[in-house]
Amino acid sequence: MENKGKRWTDEEIIQLLTSIRKKKTHEELAVAHGRSKNSIFQKLKALAIDYYEGEGKTVEEIQRFTGLSKEVIEQAILESSAPKIYAYYRASTGNSGISHSWEEFSSMIKGLKQITHRSFSSEEEAAAWIESKKAEVPVASATVADARVADATLAKAPVPTPFRISSLSEKQRLAFDAVQEGQNVFLTGPGGTGKTFLIGLIKESLPNVALTAMTGCAALLLGQGAKTIHSWAGIGLGTGGFEQMIGRIRMMKKAAVAWKNTRTLIIDEISMMTPDILELLDKVGKRLRNSSRPFGGLQVVFVGDFFQLPPVAKGVETAFAFQSPIWNATIEKTVALDRIFRQEDSAFQEILDEARVGEISAKSFTTLKSRCNLDYSGELIKPTILLARKADVELINKGSLDALPGEVRLYSAKTKNGKHPPSEVKKIVEKMDANSPYVPELVLKKGAQVMLIKNVDPENGLVNGSRGIVTDFTPQGKPVVHFKVGTEITVDYEIWASDHESPVERIQIPLCLAYALTIHKSQGATLDCALIDVGPKIFEYGQAYVALSRVKSLEGLYISSVSAEAFRAHPTVKSFYSGTYIPLVKEAPPMLPELNTESYAFDEEAVVLRKQPSINTFFTGLGRKA
């Protein structure tokens, strides 16, 4: 039994219930799932309880779903309805706790590691169990070494929330207070205004917050625990009708529980969301939370900047989330942050502000032209070329690496399983490799130009986007990199974890070749130096602004071509931000039973740029004039 003792995945549960409808016996199910007959029986009982307590299904309906007899279902419900006492014990500290509510208990143990917990029928039983655990593992007395470890841990701990709140700008505090009051908030503003910082603060300050983003790459930048909104909500690509989708979500216990238990849902990169997705999420929330309020009464915080690249929906004109009537029915307060925290170059910031709204002044255009055709051949670390297409980037990086002499070093990402079946691990790894910043098969040589893809040592300037040159390899094979900030370090392996309860981990060197990058791949990175094209090839609204905003300062900006016409902002977005936008539909349209899945299936790579720039111009310019 290959899956004995392993956690049931959402896919397995769906397969199980599908097989039940096909009248498969428990013996056949046990063979198909690699589990015992008793495991199949117990799982079906657990699902029966979930359907009864969580979804309000009748016993007759549960019979159809699970294939269990009426007597078995009623007995399971009876046993489940008996009051429970929950207790935990943490051997490393000797701490323990007892609660009469699972909601309270889950909050009590959240974030605690290496704990044991159980449920009991009485408080006396729970207390006796805790005493027995204390007798088993006596708590060691604190030593000097323990104190040093504690001090080191404290030094790495995040700054306490009250202190961080006091450092907020006036508008950041306005948004923070609105969220604390339970309002649905749209938080917007250009890069560097502290949106991500504020997201983290909200997450720390409230219980049951779900942190999501529109893409896997953006979710990873938000930190551990963040998911794509599609994964969190269980909507996938929305194949099939709405009722089928609701059925799948209910069978995927994690998504159903998330909808039920979450208090505040944060969605980053809201600018990439189409009205169809917004309306689908609202409709799912109303159904699963059994409420007619927006999103079923779930508090939502939308974060993003619509002046960046618009969402891509196949076969339809560009449409923004705020164009849906659901937006106005949901959002109670909009806060536009405008104080820039990370930009020290005021002249460059002025250019970025103008580029964002598509209104480049003559003065700014003259400044940009002064950055054209600059000679960077004397630079040890050449400007990173920002391109649209992944294939173009790979061509430049491979050609540049091949031109270097010396031995090739290959670093293959390793996988650490999180108690999933092999077939499930394979799917998770494929998804992680496609959406994560790490390179699954990283090839390096001495002299290769590279970029950090994680914050390694922020105090010394080694952050996501820091660029350098590989100067050597340690006897263990790890790369030694001299960074442009002047620091040289041995780059160690880092871990990327999936968003599962028992995560799958990918372990890899946090570097990528940095001769060229896609604008999409540079997301979240602030480059000290880059070569960009903001000339006639720019065709999309917001494209020129996004390219410029990847660079830290004017000094690090190299331009191959510039055109004033390249700087455009979508007129609908401009009217929305100026307050003059008038929705075409003032009342929410009736919800349709079927969803047009084509309308919101998007290609992440296509979100950034959709035309091929001239490779020859960039490639032949390496090391010479741009």
Mean pLDDT of the chain: 80
What distance in Å separates the CA atoms of residue 383 and residue 381, rounded to the nearest whole number?
7
Q: What is the pLDDT of residues 394-435, one digit of tens each?
A: 999 999 999 999 999 999 999 988 777 888 888 889 988 887
End-to-end Cα, the chain, rounded Å: 62
pTM greater than 0.75: no
> What pLDDT does 56 receive?
64
> What pLDDT does 616 receive?
37
Q: What is the pLDDT of residues 457-485, one digit of tens each?
A: 877 888 888 899 999 999 999 999 999 88
* Residues 310/542, Cβ–Cβ less than 8 Å: yes
> What pLDDT does 370 receive?
95
Radius of gyration of the chain (CA): 27
Q: Which residue, 200, 170, 175, is CA-closest to 186?
A: 175
Is pLDDT of 609 > 80? no
Stretch 574-592: mean pLDDT, rounded? 61
> What pLDDT does 153 receive?
38
What distance in Å separates the CA atoms of residue 526 and residue 47, rounded to the nearest whole number?
47
CA distances from 320 to 106, 402, 585 (A): 38, 43, 13
Q: Which residue, 241, 235, 237, 217, is CA-closest to 227?
A: 217
Q: What is the pLDDT of residues 155-196, one digit of tens each?
A: 333 444 555 677 788 999 999 999 999 999 999 998 878 898
Is pLDDT of 330 > 60? yes
- The four Cα atoms 49, 55, 59, 60 give a dihedral, to 10 degrees, of -140
What distance in Å separates the CA atoms of residue 122 and residue 125, rounded to the nearest whole number?
5
Cα 503 vs. chain centroid, distance in angstroms?
A: 14
Stretch 446-467: mean pLDDT, rounded? 87
pLDDT bracket for residue 315 (50, 70, 90): low
> What pLDDT does 239 receive?
58
Is pLDDT of 618 > 80? no
- Indicate left, alpha or beta for 406 from its phi (over 0: left) and psi (-120 to 50: alpha): left
* Residues 62/50, Cβ–Cβ less than 8 Å: no
- The four Cα atoms 599, 600, 604, 607 give a dihedral, to 10 degrees, of 60
- Lowest average pLDDT, out of 68-77, 88-97, 558-567, 590-599, goes to 590-599
| 3-state secondary structure at position 127 | helix
What distance in Å separates the CA atoms of residue 548 and residue 348, rounded to the nearest whole number?
9
Centre a 10 Å sphere on the Cβ of residue 170 and count the other Cβ atoms it contains: 8
Stretch 229-252: mean pLDDT, rounded? 81
Q: Which residue, 234, 97, 604, is CA-closest to 389?
A: 604
DSSP H/E element including 620: helix 615-620
Q: In this structure, what token pair is assigned to residue 425?
A: 């691990």
Is pLDDT of 136 > 60? yes
Residues 6+ apart with CB under 8 A from 477: 409
Q: Which residue, 543, 348, 531, 335, is CA-closest to 449?
A: 531
- Indicate left, alpha or beta for 200 from its phi (over 0: left) and psi (-120 to 50: alpha): alpha
Is pLDDT of 134 > 50? yes
Break the chain down into helix, strand, coil percent, rounded to 5: 45, 20, 40
Give the residue carrying structure tokens 């160690």. 492
The residue type of 51 is Y
Q: Give 607 or 353, the one with higher predicted confidence.
A: 353
Centre a 10 Å sphere on the Cβ of residue 598 and count the other Cβ atoms it contains: 13
Query: Phi/psi of residue 96, each to 5°?
Result: -150, 170
Strand-pair partners of 516: 385
Q: In this structure, what token pair is assigned to residue 624?
A: 């010479």
| 3-state secondary structure at position 554 | helix
Centre a 10 Å sphere on the Cβ of residue 531 and count the other Cβ atoms it contains: 23
> What pLDDT does 542 receive?
86
> What pLDDT does 119 receive?
73
Q: Which residue, 274, 275, 357, is CA-closest to 311?
A: 274
Stretch 507-514: mean pLDDT, rounded? 95
* Residues 214/270, Cβ–Cβ less than 8 Å: yes
Ranges of H-type helices in 97-252: 102-109, 123-136, 144-156, 161-166, 170-180, 195-205, 216-222, 229-233, 242-251
What distance in Å separates the CA atoms of residue 133 and residue 32, rounded to the nearest whole number?
39
Ranges of H-type helices in 23-157: 26-33, 37-55, 59-66, 70-81, 102-109, 123-136, 144-156
* Residues 444/468, Cβ–Cβ less than 8 Å: no
Domain 162-340+585-601 has CATH 1.10.357.10: no
